[in-house]
A and B are shown apart, each in its own frame.
Chain A
Amino acid sequence: MKRHASAILFFVTPFGVLFALFYLIPILYAVWQSLYTVKRTGTFGPATDVFGGLVQYREVFTNGPFWQSIERVFLFGIVQVPVMLGVALFLALLLDSGLVKGKGFFRLAFFLPYAVPGVVAAIMWGYLYSPNLSPFTAVTASADLLSPSFVLWAMANVVTWVYIGYNMLIIYSALLAVPTEIYEAAKIDGAGVFRTAWSIKIPMVLPAIVLTTVFSIIGTLQLLAEPQVFRSFSSAVSSTYTPNLTVLSTSAVPNFHLAAAFSVVLALATFILSFAFLKVTQRKGVQ
């Protein structure tokens, strides 16, 4: 359709140009960079970039620490995402159940941590975990939360603390959109609070749960601020603790070609995982 062509161009072009410059081209540039490698003539000779094909990807796939970091965030996500979304769903259902007074206050109190940037949340909790600074000495004296066996879950708590309220609000807003006639019908059929929640409310808000899950998967694979900050608190967090830390420390070497290959693999993995999750849930009849 040729109608309004200039108006459409006017509306779409500014965003389109920026999106191309700062989203599409960087992705292509990363792919391009990852296909090169540095060649030196002699030990101290000048370094030149030469085309290396998939050399960097061979390095990525045989890089032990990188795969350990993938394994680590996978373990993190398997536990943290269900716990966080489970609690968020539970709180949203409670808010919607009619059992709670002062809903406005609780909504705000639970959502407030979302206003705290990841870096600041990590710094704050880092001090709360530190044995010699924490106000919760009863806890920190019996278990060193910053030790290798605990620190991953200590970080999981930081992420959970920040994002429960945000996810709860998304689910709660979806609950508010459910037409009330459905509840009337359920009441007449004799369904109680739990029955209504399980058989009606949860299925109705499944799309919201799917959306929050996808965002949480993306967030987990991108973990950076929390582990980076925790490196100051705990020697258990290495420079390759999460995939993004690996990208960061590899580019600091600097080995940009390998770091670009890590980025590409990571972006692809995120994309495939989120997309697969969307497809699988859609096939199961979630809209």
Chain B
Amino acid sequence: MAAFKLPKYAAMLVMAVFTLYFLTPLWWLFVASGKKDGQVTEGSPLLPDHFALGANLADLFHYNDGIFLRWMANSIGYTVGAALLGTLLAGMCGYALAKYVFRGRELIFNIVLGGVLVPATALALPLFLMFSKVELANTFWSVFLPSLVNPFGVYLGRIYAAASVPDELLEAARIDGSGEVRTFFTLSTRLMAPAFVTIFLFHFVAVWNNFMLPLIMLGNERLFPVTLGLYSWNTQVNQHPELRALVLVGAFVSLVPMVIAFLSLQRFWRSGLGAGSIK
């Protein structure tokens, strides 16, 4: 019996070691951002002593007229807005590609699929030049509009629509006299709801993490997303040492919305990632 249990212990040990690897840095970030007066190296590095997270948060939120909260709001605006609208558009396109036969269907699908392979960073520079031409660089729209496009969402949308919306049902809706667009919004979207959540999550992460586009596009720090804001603080740490503590507290706070989104929607991650690997 003991020999039989050995692989189980070994497996659990491996899992425990990797859990430490993945979670220790995050725990350190939490502890460090709570250190009193920003003394990161004070006391124990992995135990919350000299703990004054509340005071540090107050410093963070008041620094430079509350610019950090503004960055958080910007990030949420760019991300939630672009992901909501982008998911609907990608879902509609994927749905049409799955459920209708029309000339150019495969061509459109292949071009969009090619778009998945185009590195987004290769687009940032030409987008900046184009937005400069129409004098829209360094505006909210210069980051928001390009963020709406999610070719991978079209790919996922097509797979899901093909799998979850039966043709017979659409045929029945037609016989009942429902128009195609109305059928989509009243019937198909309901069947595709888990798919929409998954596409939304992928899109949300992609926009939230996007760095090159805002870095190239934005000069006005009041328009920065939180990632770019933290980055700009971090580059100034040598001239302004007080920013070091704010960078760490800010980094910690910036993770909160994402972690909440992850924990509350985690079952959709699994189904979505599974579908992504079907092909």
**Residues of A near any B CB (own CB < 8 A):** 1, 3-5, 7-8, 10-12, 14-16, 18-19, 21-27, 29-30, 33, 87, 91, 94, 97, 99-101, 106, 108-120, 123-128, 132-135, 161, 164-166, 169-171, 173-174, 176-177, 193, 205, 207-208, 211-212, 214, 218, 221-222, 224-225, 228-229, 231-232, 244, 247-248, 251, 256, 259-260, 263-264, 266-267, 270-271, 274-275, 287
Q: Nearest Cβ distance between residue A137 and chain B, in whole angstroms?
A: 8
B23 lies within 8 A of chain A by Cβ: yes
Q: Is the CB of A111 within 8 A of B262?
A: yes
Classify the interface of chain A: helix, strand, loop or mixed: helix
Does B127 contact A22, Cβ atoms closer than 8 Å?
yes
For residue B173, CB closer than 8 A to chain A, the reply is: no
B2 at the interface (CB under 8 A from A): no
B46 within 8 A of A: yes
Distance in angstroms between the alpha carbons of A208 and B279 in the assembled complex: 9
Whether A119 pairs with B211 at a CB distance below 8 angstroms is yes
How far is it, in angstroms, between the C-alpha of A260 and the C-alpha of B122 when the chains are bound?
8
- For A211, give its contact among B28, B92, B237, B276 (CB under 8 Å): B276
B18 within 8 A of A: yes
A133: B residues at CB distance < 8 A? 40-41
Question: Contact: B92 with A244, CB < 8 Å?
Answer: no
Tell me how many residues of B have a C-beta within 8 Å of chain A: 94
Given contacts A8-B100, A110-B18, A232-B234, 9 further A-B contacts (CB under 8 A): A33-B129, A114-B262, A119-B231, A166-B273, A218-B117, A222-B119, A251-B216, A267-B118, A271-B117
Q: Mark B166-181, 1 if CB is under 8 A from A, else 0.
A: 0000000000000111
B96 contacts chain A at the CB level, 8 A cutoff = yes
For residues 1 through 55 of chain B, which have their beta carbon under 8 Å from a beta carbon of chain A?
7-8, 11-12, 14-15, 18-19, 21-23, 25-26, 28-29, 32, 40-41, 45-46
Contact A116-B181, Cβ < 8 Å, known A128-B25, A259-B125, A271-B118: no
Most chain B CB within 10 A, of A97, A117, A118, A207, is at A117
Taking CB atoms, residues of chain B closer than 8 Å to A169 are: 269-270, 273
Check A193–B125 contact: CB distance below 8 A: no
Contact of B23 among A97, A112, A259, A267 (CB under 8 A): A112
With both chains docked as a complex, state the minimum distance between the C-beta of B243 and any C-beta of chain A, in angstroms: 11
Which residue on B lies nearest to A173, using beta carbons? B274
Q: What's the count of A-B pairs with C-beta under 8 Å?
A: 266
Report if B57 contacts A (CB, 8 A).
no
Structural contact, B211 and A127, CB atoms closer than 8 A: no
With beta carbons under 8 angstroms apart, the residue of B15, B120, B248, B261 that contacts A127 is B248
Q: Which 3 A-B pairs have the closest CB atoms?
A: A135-B45, A173-B274, A7-B180
How far is B25's CA from A110's CA once the two chains are assembled, in angstroms? Answer: 12
| Cβ 8 A contact of B247, one of A12, A123, A134, A228 | A123
Residues of B near any A CB (own CB < 8 A)? 7-8, 11-12, 14-15, 18-19, 21-23, 25-26, 28-29, 32, 40-41, 45-46, 89-90, 92-93, 95-97, 100-103, 108, 111-112, 114-115, 117-123, 125-130, 145-146, 148-149, 151, 154, 179-181, 184, 205, 208-209, 211-212, 215-216, 227-228, 230-231, 234-235, 237-238, 247-248, 251, 254-255, 258-259, 261-263, 266, 269-271, 273-274, 276-279
Q: How far is the CB of A174 from chain B (nearest CB, A)?
A: 5
Given contacts A11-B95, A19-B151, contact A135 B127 (CB under 8 A): no
Cβ contact within 8 Å between B46 and A135 = yes
Q: Which residues of B contact A106 (CB under 8 A)?
A: 15, 18-19
Q: 26 A-B Cβ contacts within 8 A?
A: A4-B100, A5-B102, A8-B102, A22-B145, A30-B122, A94-B14, A94-B15, A99-B7, A106-B15, A109-B19, A111-B269, A116-B26, A118-B211, A120-B230, A127-B32, A164-B22, A169-B273, A174-B274, A207-B277, A211-B276, A218-B119, A231-B235, A244-B121, A251-B128, A267-B122, A271-B118
Complex CA gap A14/B145 in Å reads 12
Residues of B within 8 A of A97 (CB): 11
Q: Which residue of the partner chain, among B7, B25, B146, B248, contacts A161 with CB atoms under 8 Å?
A: B25
Q: How far does the alpha carbon of A10 sit from the alpha carbon of B275 in the complex, in Å?
A: 26
How far is B222's CA from A229's CA once the two chains are assembled, in angstroms? 20
Most B CB contacts (10 A, CB to CB) among A22, A114, A166 go to A22
Q: By the criterion CB–CB under 8 Å, are B118 and A232 in contact?
A: no
- In the complex, chain A residues whose CB is within 8 Å of the CB of B125: 30, 247, 251, 256, 259-260, 263
| Chain A hits for B14, CB < 8 A | 94
